[in-house]
Amino acid sequence: MVGLCQSLAPHRGTNLKPLRMMIMGIPNVGKSTLMNALLKRRVAAVGDQPAVTKNQQRLELNDQMSIIDTPGLLWPKIEQESDGYMLAASHAIGSNAVIDEEVAAFLGEILLARYPALLAARYACTVAGLDGVGLIEAVAKRRGFRLKGGDPDLEQAAITLLKDYRTGTLGRISLETPETRQAMLGKQAHATAARCEALPESGGTPCPGQ
């Protein structure tokens, strides 16, 4: 990485003009871990939750290079609801801002569609025919998560599913690929176009460009 940065700024990297690098990204993706690896010592706090890094921290790699660790950044507005759910499932959004059962149900839908074998192996249950909520109920049943009165503890089951995904216990999983992203955007555009066509007939305001 340092070599690539050097090639992008060949005019920097001397005592008079040191190369300054900054690590940026969404919360909880390993920015501080990367910084510690580059410096070969623990200088930045790390943790499996967003917002561990509160302030910028600048450290010297050597006399010619410095590196800055930064707090996580998110977009001012998340346009697609599914993007917000994927960020929450990956723990880039704090638990206080989301409902675990909703996030786990969204995650479950993706896992059931693409990784049913991993779910069946982890929870020793039949996943065919389940939806996201059904998967959470199945996890609660298999793990014996119960509330007073005998009802399944869906919150605890949801947290278990999210934790198993976040820690890699379920296996290697990608929530999104270029193909699924394109399909999602196409579906969204089609739904938007359908709403725009219906608006004038109902007295609403036409979409831009109409």
Nearest CA among 188, 158, 11 for reference residue 89: 158
Per the listing, tokens 């998340």 go with 78
Identify the CATH number of the domain defined by range 81-166.
1.10.1580.10
Question: What is residue 207's predicted lDDT score, i.e. its pLDDT?
Answer: 61
For the chain, helix, strand, coil in percent to 5 are: 50, 10, 45
User: Residue 59 and residue 66: Cα distance in Å, rounded?
Assistant: 6
Q: 71-91 pLDDT, tens per residue? A: 888 888 888 888 899 999 988
Per residue of the chain (210 residues), what is the pLDDT tens digit? 677 878 888 888 788 888 888 888 888 888 878 888 888 877 765 555 544 555 777 888 888 888 888 888 888 888 888 889 999 998 888 777 788 999 999 999 999 999 999 999 999 999 999 999 999 999 999 999 999 888 999 999 999 999 999 999 999 999 988 998 898 888 878 877 887 877 655 555 556 554
User: Residue 162 and residue 181: Cα distance in Å, rounded?
Assistant: 22
Question: What is residue 201's predicted lDDT score, i.e. its pLDDT?
Answer: 54
Task: Say which amino acid occupies 57.
Answer: Q
User: Residue 139 and residue 118: Cα distance in Å, rounded?
Assistant: 13
Q: Where are the domains of the chain?
A: 13-69, 81-166
Q: Is 190 helix (H, G, I), strand (E, B) or coil?
A: helix
Q: 102-116 pLDDT, tens per residue? A: 999 999 999 999 999
Q: 178-189 pLDDT, tens per residue? A: 998 898 888 878
Question: What is residue 44's predicted lDDT score, i.e. its pLDDT?
Answer: 61
* Percentage with pLDDT > 90 across the chain: 39
Question: What is residue 120's predicted lDDT score, i.e. its pLDDT?
Answer: 96
